Structure 1
């Protein structure tokens, strides 16, 4: 993915009670909070100073309503001793009062706090331009930092609607929810991304491959993935609009009833950068983020801070999103928009696209057929100066927790459900899952390499309203999650630091998830794929222990690629039934960080992926050995057996040739195809005998 703006945690404005003075020479109490929460969730505020649990009483911590009258509310101190949770309040405006005596460091260094907040029953649209401008002015007033950004990499089993023929389908996480890929197959034709266009290869005769046509897009348009729906080819990408001075996430739709002559029928877009797409229930969802330049308010009195959208069926203009399509997410103070465009694909995608903007950014997502979950990291950005020093607070971002937002979706209708937080950060979409209406998520809290504050791993189960039902906490202290997979009533989690524990967790009872078994082996799996109900395929790296003379400590290094077959039929005693080592040190495959690169064929029990092979050289050097693809037969009975070693061996090159590197492996009927940037090769599926090569310039 491209770089995208991320949220910056902002310090809320605090009201200081009369009669209390601030000491300039000592750091004051600061609070981090959002202005609103929903009735189904707790509102919370985090302070920079620790609170006394014994002092969280009605005298020291209480809530008043808009008439300054005390009201009954549930007030709870968080585990970090710096966060207060307030719940059981009806919709309305309130103030939280925290007496200075409630803080551990009281006296003249601490002041009492009064913080205003609102409880809402449902998410409402922004009512006026003035309200939207005031939102950004408040962010600007409370922020002493310029917004920053970071690159986010998406690491990111079903038959899709458009692929009823006997050919490859995308390796999707959820059955019935299409995710798209850089190569898709339909009716004997292979569509693949190449530079700023798409090549269409006629592969109906695997012995005579032909270039059917090339779809050219503008050079300013970067293509990230393709998807299919009936006779529609959906091209997803980003493009920079120089005249407008912004970037757009786009979905360009072609009619491919005649694959040799695709017809452009529509383009829709939303401002910002693409996060991902999903297609389910005949609807395309385009999900992304947009960061408005609200700091320009310092120089201008008013400016348009609404995201822009584009739909070719409505004209050539880029339009600002109407206010009734914009909402401010509760429990967040974030200048980033999460944008969701929903497009009905039925009848040739002729209906109007529905775009909604939510102020509250996101970086991860999971989608079922009926719900969309977006996640965003919560940063603990405070570093309190030592006593007696006169200096500002130092903002050093460190991911601590994850905020989750949920929408129920029904076609183009998107209804916001609510938000909650869980401890730790989430690895990727495979660490999330929905089952029987409950949401499950695996996180890592802390840093596995921090010896002062040891890392811990957790599994949380939330109900349809994102209320916690149950949890497994403090799993594998000192390690971090490297991969996870949910399979119905079981969850499988791989953690790693020096060895690879595979945990089997029973999640059948959402109120009481239980660790059933654990397997410790060298190496780790980046990706877990279900073979059947009692077997898992793990793809990752082997490792070895080395000794550092300087630090006098052992350390772990990766060596060759590794694929394992785990037998979990005895949940309390999981076993590594079969394993293969692939290449030597330095070898890798895209499948290790992108499961879309996994090739599958049920008829032959084939699993495969592109590979780039290296081997050991002198000292710590690695030597390039070759590139291509490997195909394995994997069964519960025989384990892992190499069937096709489709690798072009090195003839003296130091590194792989990017143009010839296999990007995907697909099949059509009885033929297998490897797709590289400059060539497509065909083979017999049963024995991998070469059939033809098509060069693409």
Structure 2
């Protein structure tokens, strides 16, 4: 009997362990997180530490940059690599980081209508991650960046709009760019180009040459208490050296990113003042230098610039938390928990063949995109790793985070090439350690990405050269992204916006195809195109409805800035600003040549549509701030942009359009004008 009990004991343990392991694997599978993806500790970034080490790192960068450009390789090849002592010539660089564009609520597949108030909010990429914009509303007041001031408009009732306050921005050299708004605070973001005397310049006769100056760019956040709309008070200023890259706001936490490029001449002159500075009036009104012991760097990736990330709780007057790294930044993507900074880097130059001025063959040509991830936790910013993928990205919508994975779409190669290095489009999935865990490469050779939108387990990608293929990509298995279907139609989409989980709206341009001088097909853009796509059958996406606005030359800010869109699925409402160019009947009847004609100016303002799945786009009307006299005076083009409608919002039953000169209100139902207010 005892032996029998012993025999029956172990199988039970084995069965229990097997079931436990199976259950654990099942949970991981359901969460779409592989068992091997347990987060490993991130190796901390090294610290610059001293001015001597900083200058050493920058000299190493300068040498490597010459290597990458081929200059140093060529020189060393011809000198038969005599020695390693290379004289580094100063570089006159004044590179500007490309700004990323830039949250009260967003709808991915939901309306912009707030849960407790009937007014629109900024169209943002990620729900719960606010982006700064030139116009914000709280459902009662409208705040607008208007040249060198912030105009505060009491918008309700719509028939009695009035300016209740003007915030004069008297900071020297300051230019306001965007706003954040919550119930208690207004944040004004902008940049400054203050002139600063150079501290170290060539020895010249001061009586002949005036004291030299240079412009010191800085990024500024001004925080205001807006409890009393007629007595708005500035409570805090935060200023970071460098160009404004982007910002996000999550709840009361503001994340501000600047990119401060170093003047290589000042470094060569051995000037000590090459460290970045900032000021935070919660601590002091004076600038404070960021010490070398507080600056990190990425080993092997030195760049003469600083990325400065400042985290501020705008509801508390506590010191800003800063994260500073020696490096560059181009595009920003942020989720609730993470901030990603993407920067393109060119592959190093290939070594020269022996006794030759020609480089050796390369297996891979073209830039790569490096992504740095920083965790965002209650106003704290911590470096959490980096990854790299082939190709270059288009904008912030090329990036996305879903569960434990980061997804990114890139274009590699060149569209003008017709060999193995022609352009190709790719999608990569990176895991918790920022390693590539899945990839889909070589999409639409010879074309390039014009827009991307990630929506849960799917991605939508538009590429273009002569036609517009819309690709539907399955991301359910992060290790194996797969194309489910595609649709080819004339034109292209610059921006994709979700209608719901099975329908998507594209905004771009119509195109026509003409034969070039070498009888080669070429595509030319025409009027603005909006299209509604049905992707419920993922293998066979189809265009349900489309509209063409104007002719060649028609343009909209929406094609460059997603925040110019107003969309509400519940209200069946779609609106955006547009400048319309049209061809005369005579021009339309002219025989087509190898270059289509541009239209002439005919309208500037807002196009307002009703939209639903049964009827598609239904133009409800157009709203303009230009007077009949303005249209009479206009020639082939319109240049007085102070009356150009920049944003459209809604509050309750009324639609509001805003330009620098005017604010107008109209009923949503019939677009009947109910109020007009001069802002000058």
Q: Please, what TM-score do these two structures have when normalized by structure 1?
A: 0.78
> Is 1:341 equivalent to 2:310 in the alignment?
yes
Q: 2:44 maps to what in 1?
A: 122
* Partners of 1:467 and 1:406 in 2: CA distance: 12
Correspondent of 1:402 among 369, 375, 383? 369
Q: CA deviation at 1:589?
A: 0.8
CA change 1:325–1:411 in 2 (3 A) is farther
- Whether contact under 8 Å (2:95, 2:261) holds in the other structure is no
Q: 2:548 maps to what in 1?
A: 581
Gaps of 5+ in 1: 1-118
Q: 2:479 maps to what in 1?
A: 511
- Whether contact under 8 Å (1:157, 1:173) holds in the other structure is no
Q: CA deviation at 1:409?
A: 1.6
Moved over 4 A (4+): 140-145, 153-158, 160-164, 383-393
Correspondent of 2:632 among 651, 667, 678? 651
Q: What secondary structure is seen at the aligned counterpart in 1 of 2:160?
A: coil
* Partners of 2:367 and 2:46 in 1: CA distance: 29
Q: Bigger CA drift: 142-151 or 315-324?
A: 142-151
CA change 1:153–1:353 in 2 (3 A) is closer
Q: Bigger CA drift: 176-185 or 602-611?
A: 602-611
Correspondent of 2:283 among 311, 314, 338? 314
* Partners of 2:370 and 2:143 in 1: CA distance: 37
CA change 1:128–1:385 in 2 (3 A) is closer
Q: What secondary structure is seen at the aligned counterpart in 2 of 1:276?
A: strand
The 5-angstrom pairing of residues 194-209 of structure 1 reads: 194-209=146-161
Deviations 1:40-80 (A, max 9, x none): xxxxxxxxxxxxxxxxxxxxxxxxxxxxxxxxxxxxxxxxx
Q: What secondary structure is seen at the aligned counterpart in 2 of 1:324?
A: helix
- Whether contact under 8 Å (1:203, 1:209) holds in the other structure is yes
* Alignment RMSD: 2.5
> Is 1:224 equivalent to 2:205 in the alignment?
no
CA change 1:128–1:152 in 2 (3 A) is closer
Q: What secondary structure is seen at the aligned counterpart in 1 of 2:158?
A: coil
* Partners of 1:136 and 1:601 in 2: CA distance: 51
> Is 1:257 equivalent to 2:203 in the alignment?
no
Q: Bigger CA drift: 634-643 or 455-464?
A: 634-643
- Whether contact under 8 Å (1:561, 1:583) holds in the other structure is yes
- Whether contact under 8 Å (2:102, 2:247) holds in the other structure is no
Q: 2:82 maps to what in 1?
A: none
Q: What secondary structure is seen at the aligned counterpart in 1 of 2:632?
A: coil
Q: 1:666 maps to what in 2?
A: 649
Q: Which has the higher helix share?
A: 2
CA change 1:613–1:156 in 2 (3 A) is farther
Q: 1:562 maps to what in 2?
A: 529
> Is 1:282 equivalent to 2:252 in the alignment?
yes
* Partners of 2:476 and 2:544 in 1: CA distance: 25
Q: What secondary structure is seen at the aligned counterpart in 1 of 2:437?
A: strand
Q: 2:295 maps to what in 1?
A: 326
Q: 2:53 maps to what in 1?
A: 131
> Is 1:444 equivalent to 2:411 in the alignment?
yes
Q: Which has the higher strand share?
A: 1
Q: What secondary structure is seen at the aligned counterpart in 1 of 2:159?
A: coil
* Partners of 1:272 and 1:471 in 2: CA distance: 35
Q: CA deviation at 1:601?
A: 2.9
Q: CA deviation at 1:243?
A: 4.2
Q: 1:149 maps to what in 2?
A: 95
> Is 1:303 equivalent to 2:249 in the alignment?
no
CA change 1:151–1:463 in 2 (3 A) is closer
Q: What secondary structure is seen at the aligned counterpart in 1 of 2:471?
A: strand
Q: CA deviation at 1:127?
A: 2.6
> Is 1:615 equivalent to 2:585 in the alignment?
no
Q: 1:171 maps to what in 2?
A: 123
- Whether contact under 8 Å (2:102, 2:133) holds in the other structure is no
CA change 1:405–1:630 in 2 (3 A) is same
* Partners of 1:356 and 1:158 in 2: CA distance: 25
Q: CA deviation at 1:331?
A: 4.1
Q: 1:411 maps to what in 2?
A: 378
Q: CA deviation at 1:416?
A: 1.1
Correspondent of 1:490 among 458, 476, 486? 458
* Partners of 2:235 and 2:94 in 1: CA distance: 38
CA change 1:252–1:173 in 2 (3 A) is same
* Partners of 2:446 and 2:501 in 1: CA distance: 30
- Whether contact under 8 Å (1:331, 1:419) holds in the other structure is no
* Partners of 1:405 and 1:681 in 2: CA distance: 43
CA change 1:389–1:192 in 2 (3 A) is same
- Whether contact under 8 Å (1:162, 1:229) holds in the other structure is no
Correspondent of 2:614 among 613, 622, 637? 637
CA change 1:157–1:485 in 2 (3 A) is farther
Q: CA deviation at 1:470?
A: 0.6
Q: 2:218 maps to what in 1?
A: 248
- Whether contact under 8 Å (1:470, 1:510) holds in the other structure is yes
Q: CA deviation at 1:430?
A: 0.6
The 5-angstrom pairing of residues 355-504 of structure 1 reads: 355-380=322-347, 382=349, 400-452=367-419, 453-504=421-472
* Partners of 2:102 and 2:600 in 1: CA distance: 29
Q: CA deviation at 1:495?
A: 0.4
Q: CA deviation at 1:259?
A: 1.8
- Whether contact under 8 Å (1:482, 1:495) holds in the other structure is yes
Q: CA deviation at 1:158?
A: 6.0
Q: What secondary structure is seen at the aligned counterpart in 2 of 1:596?
A: helix
CA change 1:171–1:128 in 2 (3 A) is same
- Whether contact under 8 Å (2:303, 2:327) holds in the other structure is yes
- Whether contact under 8 Å (1:561, 1:581) holds in the other structure is yes
Q: What secondary structure is seen at the aligned counterpart in 2 of 1:662?
A: coil
Deviations 1:590-628 (A, max 9, x none): 111100000123441211100111102446242110111
The alignment of Structure 1 onto Structure 2 pairs a total of residues equal to 572
> Is 1:528 equivalent to 2:509 in the alignment?
no
- Whether contact under 8 Å (1:578, 1:640) holds in the other structure is yes
* Partners of 1:234 and 1:123 in 2: CA distance: 32
Q: CA deviation at 1:323?
A: 2.9
* Partners of 1:442 and 1:309 in 2: CA distance: 35
CA change 1:447–1:153 in 2 (3 A) is farther
Q: What secondary structure is seen at the aligned counterpart in 2 of 1:297?
A: helix
Q: Bigger CA drift: 601-610 or 489-498?
A: 601-610
* Partners of 1:564 and 1:162 in 2: CA distance: 23
- Whether contact under 8 Å (2:461, 2:472) holds in the other structure is yes
The 5-angstrom pairing of residues 50-69 of structure 1 reads: none
